[in-house]
Every structure is written in C-alpha cells, then in structure tokens.
C-alpha cells in the first residue's frame, strides 16, 4: 500500500515520517503520475492560498478533485480548506477563524472513533473553523470550543488541527484502518 502526501507546500515532511513510522510506504505527490500511483492521499497543512496557486499552476487542481473521488483522503488544517474549495466536502470554513490567540495552541480533544472515545493531543496552528456542516453524511468525531474539528464522510477524514505533530499517532492509525477496510 502506498499513501501519498501532496508535497507542493506545507507540512508534508512530518506526515511522511508518521506514515513511515507506522510501517506504510509513502510517496510524495507533486505530479499527476504520482497521484495515479497512490492508494490514499494526505493533504497537509500549510497555506491554502499558496497550495491553490501551485495546484492550478501545475494543472493538478482537476486531476486531484477526480482522484479524491476514488481513494481515501486525510486532510489537515489548510487541507480542509482545500476540500471545501474543491467541493469535496460540503462545509463552511473560516480561514484563521480562531484568531491570533490560538496560533500555536495545544489542546486535549475527546475523539469518538468507531467504538472507542480517546483523548488526543491537538496542535492548532492558525487553524480554520468549520462553521457549518451542510451534509448529513458527515460525522463529527470531535469538537473544540463547540466547533467541529475532526469530521469524516465515508473515507474522507478532515482535521482542522495537525495530527502529524502529535507524539502518538491515533489519527494516522485510524486513517490507515479506514484505507484497509
Ligand atoms: N492559515 C492557513 C490557511 O489559511 C492554514 C494553517 C495551517 O494549515 N496550519 O491556509
């Protein structure tokens, strides 16, 4: 199994290390050819405006939308903004929604996995706020300050925080299980 990490800009390196530490092969995705080789994809955090610009510049915007209809996706932080902009998830987001005071906060979250509820350490870095979830098929797995911060629609998982910075790997492990089942 190959998990791809979109590697045009942002925190792709930390995701790669996480995936490899869990014994799964990782491919850094910068081209359409690489996109075709992966069985699942991670959209990392970074700057959604820069990523949008680079995806369009490299003619990857449409191919990425198409591929994300076929394979599991984990989007983190700016990646969640991309999912909204690409029409992959019907949600409303506010960029940098928590304002400056939450630029680098670490907060414990209570996360509902399928059969368990676990505490997860979440790093929020100029995170977007998910202000509305407009699709009944989207499950909300965790809230922070009354807003959804981890959501899932089938095999699309979206976190407004940075699970790749956490010492343990609950979100990545859950994603790998999603891919396998
Ligand atoms: N503030 C960034 C944006 O709007 C997201 C921050 C992040 O990914 N850590 O794109």
pLDDT tens-digit series, residues 72-95: 999 999 999 999 999 999 999 999
Report how far apart, in Å, the C-alpha atoms of 155 and of each of 70, 84, 150 are.
10, 16, 13
If pLDDT is split at 50, 70 and 90, which confidence band does 99 have?
Answer: confident
Q: Say if CB 150 and CB 171 are below 8 A apart.
A: yes
Structure tokens at 17: 């290390």
pLDDT at residue 101 greater than cutoff 80? no
Region 7-30 average pLDDT: 98
Is the pTM for the entire model greater than 0.95?
yes
Nearest CA to 27 out of 162, 18, 37 is that of: 37
Q: What is the pLDDT of residue 104?
A: 78
Catalytically active residues, by annotation: 77, 162, 164
Measured from CB, residues less than 6 Å from any atom of ligand 1 are: 45-48, 77-78, 81, 95-96, 125-126
Query: Count of CB atoms within 10 A of residue 140's CB?
Result: 14
Q: What is the pLDDT of residue 100?
A: 74
Q: Among 42, 43, 45, 106, which is best to mutate for testing ligand 1, by the most ligand atoms less than 8 A from CB? A: 45
- Residue 119 pLDDT > 80, yes or no? yes
């Amino acid at each position: 199994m190959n998990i791809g990490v979109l590697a045009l800009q942002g925190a792709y390196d930390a995701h790669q290390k996480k995936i490899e530490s869990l014994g799964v092969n990782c491919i850094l995705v910068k081209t359409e050819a690489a996109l075709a080789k992966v069985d699942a994809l991670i959209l990392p955090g970074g700057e959604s405006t820069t990523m949008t610009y680079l995806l369009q510049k490299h003619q990857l915007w449409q191919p990425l939308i198409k591929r994300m209809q076929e394979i599991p996706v984990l989007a983190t932080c700016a990646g969640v903004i991309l999912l909204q902009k690409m029409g992959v998830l019907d949600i409303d987001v506010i960029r940098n929604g928590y304002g400056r005071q939450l630029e680098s906060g670490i907060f414990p979250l209570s996360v509902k996995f399928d059969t368990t509820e676990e505490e997860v350490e979440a790093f929020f870095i100029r995170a977007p706020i998910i202000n509305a979830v407009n699709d009944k098929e989207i499950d909300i797995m965790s809230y922070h300050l009354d807003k959804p911060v981890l959501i899932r629609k089938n095999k699309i998982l979206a976190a407004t925080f940075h699970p790749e910075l956490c010492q343990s790997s609950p979100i990545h492990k859950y994603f790998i299980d999603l891919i396998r089942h």
